[in-house]
Structure 1
Amino acid sequence: MDMQSTAASQAGTPAGFQGTLTDKLKEQFDAGLLSGQELRPDFTIAQPVHRYTESDHAVWRKLYERQASMLRGRVCDEFLQGLSTLGMGKDRVPDFEQLNETLMHATGWQVVAVPGLVPDHVFFEHLANRRFPASWWMRKPEQLDYLQEPDCFHDVFGHVPLLINPVFADYMEAYGKGGLKAASLNALDMLARLYWYTVEFGLIRTDAGLRIYGAGILSSQGESLYSLDSASPNRIGFDVRRIMRTRYRIDTFQKTYFVIDSFEQLFDATRPDFAPLYESLRALPTLGAGDVAEGDLVLNAGTREGWSDSDDV
């Protein structure tokens, strides 16, 4: 769930809905995909399982088989354990209620269906209350390799298995609570970078070597290979201050990946009050997505081959 999502216009807002309409949400209303659906104030809906087409299930099956076949030996064991524990089927788009039976028992989390990206404050409220907002809709067959807004495969296959892990589950809750505070401190840009470089595009160091845990990588065939095998990107040891200063890429593979040593390290990094950190970082310049800075623990200095010269976010 990309935090650069805050919202579009009120034009076309459905009767009775008081929130702000994102572009994707408006598109679904205009196409009649949500007719008869109650859009709640927290942007959730009942997952419209009856609306999935055979094409949707075929896309899920194709993506699942493609990713599952290549992730062993690339993804962290915690993800594989979560995928197995959830019993997430490969043949059909999962029913969120069935996933929640296992997830709630394991860590108290649940998946809630949303029509697309939600405003930041809504997103943080969900995470802070152990609810993961997942897009219900599936990408089209011609979008197998790239789409701009996260779909059901990215959100459910990429994110949900790690919510079985107690430490990662606690990190996500702490992140949601931190987001609510960051919004009041005008620091969402810094906190968004932490989400991007951990939850979405994080790597973890294990006894067997580097492994993937970020959902943005896990749901992408190309980046699953690039993040571990390519000499092009930087791979740098995890540091909260460094990450919060670092811009990122939304249109290409990442120029830099940050590597944690454990999920405990990740959770411990969220314990301190970030308010003094935000204040100190305001006095420092931001860093480009591909920069290597003094003091970095550099695991791999990228060759920069193939890097786009378009702007970082």
Structure 2
Amino acid sequence: MLITTRLGRQVEVNADYTVDQHWEHFTAEEHDRWDRLYARQEQLLEGRACDEFMQGLKLLKLSDGGIPRFDDLSARLGKLTGWSVVAVPDLVPDDVFFDHLANRRFPAGNFIRSERELDYLQEPDVFHDVFGHVPMLANPVFADYMEAYGKGGQRAQGKGVLANLARLYWYTVEFGLISTKDGMRIYGAGIVSSKAESIYSLESDSPHRIHFDLKRLMQTDYKIDDFQQTYWVIDSFKELLEATYQDFGPLYDALVSENMKHAPDAILTDDRVHHEGTQAYARAGGRLAKAG
């Protein structure tokens, strides 16, 4: 079927919104852009990203030169955790997205940002999706969490809780932090693929860093176009997986009946706070042109 992407492109897609990657269509300039983004982030993330992410980078050979071929990447990833990477031209509908994750397929954007968007891109491109997300899928526990999230999303259809579920994805998969013996580290794709937020999330005094609480997190709003006012911290990926390996029915019922939404900068009395931020950045108006 033919769809029009949010960037105005008309693309023929399969029923599950996938497309052929057509790796040969990427230009030398686009491959060079990937290489420069990769080199910049790899150096920046040493000592900032969690060990599991850095190990995934090496295992999946994402620095072999240029944008990865999804078939080759899926073969390597499949041997590790049974996941694959499929090309999509744009963000996909919720039901399609959940189906992909529930069946261990990760949908990745089939384009790379332009040179002028090198430091900030609102739409997720192949660098955000593959460099940011896929290394964590080489970790068996996190890979199970992502599958569980997809299945939870399928069960959530029609229950009025998709906004809550989106917050869980946002604050963990995209912008999650983990506490390790060596200090706070990054695992969220939205952070590791961003030069500026890789530094801000760990080193700025402005944001709160609050310990992961499933229901509380799912009731907390977020910023989509700037640095986060709160980052949620886990002690282990096992903690994250165990929180989602449950019957979400009672939780969904509670979320609907309470109809609660906390502000992105809220701290509640029973929160386990790792760091209470000054919120100086947000109060100064933020900066929309953050590094992407």
TM-score range, shorter chain: over 0.9
TM-score normalised over the length of structure 1 = 0.88
**Residue 105 of structure 1: how far off its partner (Å):** 0.8
Is 1:195 aligned to 2:176, yes or no?
Answer: no
Counterpart selection for 2:261 from 286, 291, 297: 286
Q: Identity percentage over the alignment?
A: 54
Higher RCO, Cα 8 Å, sep 6+: 2
- What is the CA RMSD across the aligned residues, in angstroms? 1.4
Contact 2:178 2:187 in 1 (8 A): yes
In structure 2, what is the Cα distance between the partners aligned to 1:66 and 1:145?
Answer: 11
Counterpart selection for 1:132 from 87, 106, 119: 106
Counterpart selection for 1:204 from 162, 167, 178: 178
1:167-217 deviations in Å (ceiling 9; x for gaps): 000000010010011122121000100000000000000000000000000
**Residue 28 of structure 1: how far off its partner (Å):** 2.5
Q: Helix, strand or coil for the counterpart of 1:103?
A: helix
AA aligned opposite 2:271: D
Aligned equivalent of 1:116? 90
In structure 2, what is the Cα distance between the partners aligned to 1:61 and 1:87?
Answer: 12
Is 1:98 aligned to 2:79, yes or no?
Answer: no
Counterpart selection for 1:72 from 27, 32, 46: 46
Aligned equivalent of 2:119? 145
1:1-56 deviations in Å (ceiling 9; x for gaps): xxxxxxxxxxxxxxxx17x64423xx222xxxx5xxx5201000110212111221
Contact 2:83 2:137 in 1 (8 A): yes
Is 1:303 aligned to 2:278, yes or no?
Answer: yes
Show structure 1 runs of 5+ residues with no match: 1-16
Contact 1:237 1:296 in 2 (8 A): yes
Matches within 5 A, 1:235-246: 235-246=209-220
Aligned equivalent of 1:28? 9
In structure 2, what is the Cα distance between the partners aligned to 1:254 and 1:218?
Answer: 14
Contact 2:220 2:263 in 1 (8 A): yes
Q: Helix, strand or coil for the counterpart of 1:307?
A: helix
Q: Helix, strand or coil for the counterpart of 1:184?
A: coil
1:61-99 deviations in Å (ceiling 9; x for gaps): 111011001101000000111110111125301101111
Contact 1:137 1:152 in 2 (8 A): yes
1:220-255 deviations in Å (ceiling 9; x for gaps): 000000000000000000000110000001111000
AA aligned opposite 2:43: S
Contact 2:85 2:106 in 1 (8 A): yes
Contact 2:102 2:148 in 1 (8 A): yes
Aligned equivalent of 1:10? none
In structure 2, what is the Cα distance between the partners aligned to 1:21 and 1:125?
Answer: 21
In structure 2, what is the Cα distance between the partners aligned to 1:191 and 1:284?
Answer: 14
Aligned equivalent of 2:194? 220
In structure 1, what is the Cα distance between the partners aligned to 2:247 and 2:159?
Answer: 12
In structure 1, what is the Cα distance between the partners aligned to 2:183 and 2:24?
Answer: 43
**Residue 281 of structure 1: how far off its partner (Å):** 2.3
In structure 2, what is the Cα distance between the partners aligned to 1:150 and 1:64?
Answer: 16
Where do 4+ consecutive residues of structure 1 move more than 3 Å? none
